[in-house]
Every structure is written in structure tokens, then in C-alpha cells.
Amino acid sequence: MLTFLGGLAAKEKTGYAQVGVVAGSIKWFAFGVALAVFGIALAYLTNFASAGIASSQANNWEHPYVTDGPKSKYWRRANRSFHVAAIFVAIGSLAMFMVGKFSTSDAITHLLENNG
């Protein structure tokens, strides 16, 4: 997309100021990518908390063969928090991508119509 904008700006009819309007709409993409990376980090932390739950439990030879340890409640709360946060961040990332897609499409269409 940046190559397309650079090629468009190189034409004599289109100035860099006009391309700047289109480039401004690409910020939504950048924020969406940043949120996606943050979502991946939250997914890792969710799995890390799941491992914390498993490692904090005590194994027994009698029923119920696995019992919660002293830190199990903490790890369960952390796991749930990271999981819910990862879902909201994923939805936010998708929303920012869609906003970026539509705003960039509209800006490019407007730019091309004006420079015919």
C-alpha cells in the first residue's frame, strides 16, 4: 500500500499533501497491528497462567486426585483476566483493521476522482 501511495505521489498531478490524507487513514492499520501484537502477548500470558494453575495443584493418590494449592486461586483469576482481555483486544484489532480498510479505500477513491 505504501508503494502504491509513493507511486501515486510521484505523478505530476498528485501532490504529497493529497497523499498525506490517504496516509493518515493508514494509522488505523498500524493501531490494529499493534493491538494484534498485544493480543498475542495476552494469549501467551493466558497459557502461562494455565501452566501456573497446573503447577500449583497437588497430586494425590486418593479421590479427587488433583487438589488446588495455595496459589491456584490467584492463577485462575489471572488466567480468566488475560483470557477476557485477549478477546476484547482481538475484537478491537479487527475493528481498527476494518475502519482502516474503509477509510483508506474512501481516501484513495476520492484522491483518484479528483486527479482523474
Average pLDDT, the chain: 87
Q: Is residue 23 part of a domain?
A: no
- Helices 16-25, 72-115: crossing angle, 10 deg rounding: 150
What range does the domain containing 92 cover?
28-110
Q: From CA 29, how far away is CA 32, in angstroms rounded?
A: 5
* Tally of domains within the chain: 1
For the cut 70, the answer to whether the pLDDT of residue 17 exceeds it is: no
Q: Is 71 in contact with 49 (CB distance < 8 Å)?
A: no
pLDDT digits (tens, 9 = 90+) for 67-84: 999 999 999 999 999 999
Q: Is residue 38 part of a domain?
A: yes
Q: From CA 79, how far away is CA 4, in angstroms rounded?
A: 43
Q: Is residue 52 part of a domain?
A: yes
Q: Is residue 16 part of a domain?
A: no
Q: Is residue 17 part of a domain?
A: no
Q: Is residue 6 part of a domain?
A: no
